[in-house]
Structure 1
């Protein structure tokens, strides 16, 4: 960060988006494509969620928007500043809470905040007031003189957010802000993020792989899969596009190939049932009336020779939205990302051993 930056930045008073990215492409060695045409627009004063599994390209997008990485192609602006042409201006206008804490673990909470403030040009009484304000706001005043390595996970995360707010940024980037937190600490963080958006009119770009987190916090969501946005809208809009109820059935045995096609044909003629997806032991469909459709689905599957172990009916969720537009369940995408990460790590170890 630029140590000579002014302590308080002028707010962007134009009607231009707070964040805009167009056709971002980013690849890494080993022919790994992180972004394949990422496009997002974030209006000022809103909470915008990038929702996707690990490995979808969310963190790479944030790195580009916060000037920590350069795209292979494409353009992006933050707070009206081009991230490639004017990176210093972007850095002065943003706060960043990365996945890993940036706090000094052997310094106290107060010392961390004072150092961050000094980097942004705050001095004297103004710095003391801002540090005291943030310690109080994030319920860290009693722990201000303790070294950070003794903080709980929730306390460390609250300090990370406070550090990102010292200089009163226009745009705050929260990259997976609640990963690793227990449910109580996660709920507390959600409440604080909601207050930030509501009380200060701050623009927040949030990345998350928690469906509930995106649904609760974000005014608009871009669902990301394999380095691109597959659909965007408000949570209610996205869920409202899915007609009827979601019906999920678990078969006793997996099916595939010809058997899967026979099951799909058997279910396809049922009235009020549509968007049928069969994957191994899982059968998913949308139904105009889920409760009424379950007996017909069970009967059709039984006649086709497929035994059902369980059946559930639910109102549309973001998981259902992801399934429609990405063509796979969120949990399956997460599992695939974990497998890819493990394979990449194994390849690196093998390459190292071969040297």
Structure 2
């Protein structure tokens, strides 16, 4: 796995480097995999992290989860070689505690999450994640449910603009949404090239900059797969299933994801509610995590030279305390949701 990045150029992914796990050594150190234990790899992909965990200690076992049926099928050989130390489960990592408990595991020593789309998905035109090679406008990780084409052809202008602006951080979101509405009156969108060509006609590509459609594709993909919502649910699920001293390690590739992880750890380590001379200190629940990383860990120059797709990766980690798991944080959940526009509430925007 090269990482599931949304950084510059990620939308136009392609090229020879595949299945390279990002920040592999740093992830293993943060998980402390050499001590032995039960670990959850919530984003199995090509199995890079899982393989490293299994190799680190013969006593290690891994529960590996992926919502992509292709990833599960591709991991069959590794599972067969693991001598029952690897359990492959098709499902969403937002349900990782429930999925692990269904395997008879009520607590684990570590959880690793590598957030976003995988290089395998980006590199396969028929999955519709990338615009480099023309393919169906799909983007569904599970190959089930509404596709990107469904959203493009059926959503309102306001809904599309919100998706592009809030999930893709595209500044010309409204203009792109308006153009889509006009274009689909003549012909429905079916391929990645159709959408990429339309966006390219509206947004100028700066010399050396990312492809004009990168942010639009990113926002659409996040919306199709509810990626930020899954991340929020996974963080809370990890808190529930980690034993005291267990490690949670999260690798993100975009500011939207990193902001959620950063604020979650800030709240759960007791660093989020301080107080000042203008505002009294509020009640702070007992910390459920101790910080392992005080700030994000980024790839070094050697890794970046080997794997350019890792350039936007950030790792954050925490160790579970003995405090009871807390209720889900509304403030964190809101970071994963689109704002409720006037049009969505029944009026005009």
TM range (shorter): under 0.3
TM (norm. structure 1) is 0.27
Q: Looking at CA atoms only, which structure, 1 or 2, has the larger radius of gyration?
A: 1
More strand by share: 1
TM (norm. structure 2) is 0.27
